Amino acid sequence: IDAQVHSLSQKNQEDFIWSTRAAAAGGVTTIVDMPYDEGDLICSAAAVKRKMAHAGEQARVDFALYGTIDPDEGAARIAEQAEAGVAAFKFSTFGTDSKRFPRIPAPLMAECFAAVASTGLTAGVHNEDDEYVRASMAKVKAAGITDWRAHGLSRPPLTELLAMTSIYEIGAATGCPAHVVHCSLGRGYEIAASYKAQGYAATAECLIHYLMLDEENDARRLGGRSKCNPPLRPRAEVEKLWRHLAAGHVDLVSTDHVSWSLDRKSDHDMLANASGLPGLETMAPLFVKGALDRGVPLTWMAKLMAENPAKHFRLDHVKGALRPGRDADIMVLTPEPYTVDTAKSGNSVAGWSPFDGLTLPYKVAATYVRGRLAYDGAKVLAEPGSGHFVRPPECILVADRAA
């Protein structure tokens, strides 16, 4: 399960027909798609149903959906989206785009969390302090810094950590499960662990590129192709993340996949590039490499990419484990070293990856979705429309409202 995918961030670019093709080739049998679609914020039951129908015609693997809100409407449409079948809600402390990806101020965030709590679902939040980021960006621009260093300088660690604390405090105050959707810092997992120790439903997700790429080598090498929010961190921080993962402080690992066209990732001014990286086709083999390099048991992969996300999104009645009554979703990995070549694979509409040229020790040899072969190790066999929409059981919502 890839817990964080953006299939529709750029119109006329990827869509589900391509995102789920990359997923099948990468051993991913279910994607959870974000609500920030260009030109269509998924913030009502009607929007959820519209996206469900659209994705249903294209998807090659199974899919679940996040919902969100229109800040002008507040929390009024949260309950109807839960009833329509969303698996979680997404908000942001940073305003990436006032229409597509709006900032939710803390007072409204608290209202939303209270509404989400009544549905039995989880509130996931993009964790960057808006005021601090904008002040940092202004300093970077005033200093005339435009190269690879600019992005990390414009989003220093405190921008992330302040937002995380706010998110967890709002969750604690409202009784809502609070989830940070991408933590790039060891200190962030310490904060999450402290809230868990106090008995709060506080979880944190790590992205595969935070576990594999660093600022001083990869951001320098890739420039705009490395730009993501939060940014890549120094190599020492990468190693801290693996230690927290092995200690059980990481709850989910995902991609935050988005396939921006290359013209949006090639500006010499680092801050002018779009933020986000493709990762669906490589997440699993990358994790295997990172784990083997550090002696981390591969059983963590099943926990962080299958069992935990299925529980997190209330999908564990059908997903997350090979047990009677659940879907036979299987990824087969074989010890066949290969070098990532996204253009050659033909499974990405973007045609590039920050991992191109990296040799990985294991490859995806087969992907089965509900027992059917979706990828044979060389070709995606699943046809558009063969993927199913998956949602939490309605009894969860009814039980939580009754409580």
Domain count of the fold of the chain: 1
Q: Does 116 have pLDDT greater than 80?
A: yes
- Among 334, 337, 278, 331, residue whose Cα is nearest residue 302: 331
The 3-state DSSP composition of the chain as helix, strand, coil percent (nearest 5) reads 40, 15, 40
Q: In the chain, pLDDT over 90 holds for what percent of residues?
A: 94
pLDDT, mean of residues 106-132: 97
Residues of 310-344 as b/e, b for ≥16 C-beta within 10 angstroms? bebbbbbebbbeeeeebbebbbebeeeeeebebee
Q: List, in sequence order, every residue forming a beta bridge with 124; answer none if it has no partner.
A: 90, 179
Give CA–CA dist 314/111, Å, rounded: 22
Average pLDDT, the chain: 96
**Tokens 């953006």 found at:** 6
pLDDT tens digits, one per residue of 290-332 = 999 999 999 999 999 999 999 999 999 999 999 999 999 999 9
Q: Does 403 have pLDDT greater than 80?
A: no
Structural domain boundaries enclosing 313? 2-402
- 0.75 surpassed by pTM: yes
Q: Does 145 have pLDDT greater than 90?
A: yes
> pLDDT band at 12, cuts 50/70/90?
confident
Q: Does 92 have pLDDT greater than 70?
A: yes
- Whichever domain contains 164, its CATH number is 3.20.20.140
pLDDT at 198: 98
pLDDT tens digits, one per residue of 208-231 = 999 999 999 999 999 999 999 999
Give CA–CA dist 96/275, Å, rounded: 9
Q: Does 3 have pLDDT greater than 60?
A: yes
Give CA–CA dist 170/221, Å, rounded: 39
Task: State the pairing for strand pair 330-334/363-369.
Answer: antiparallel
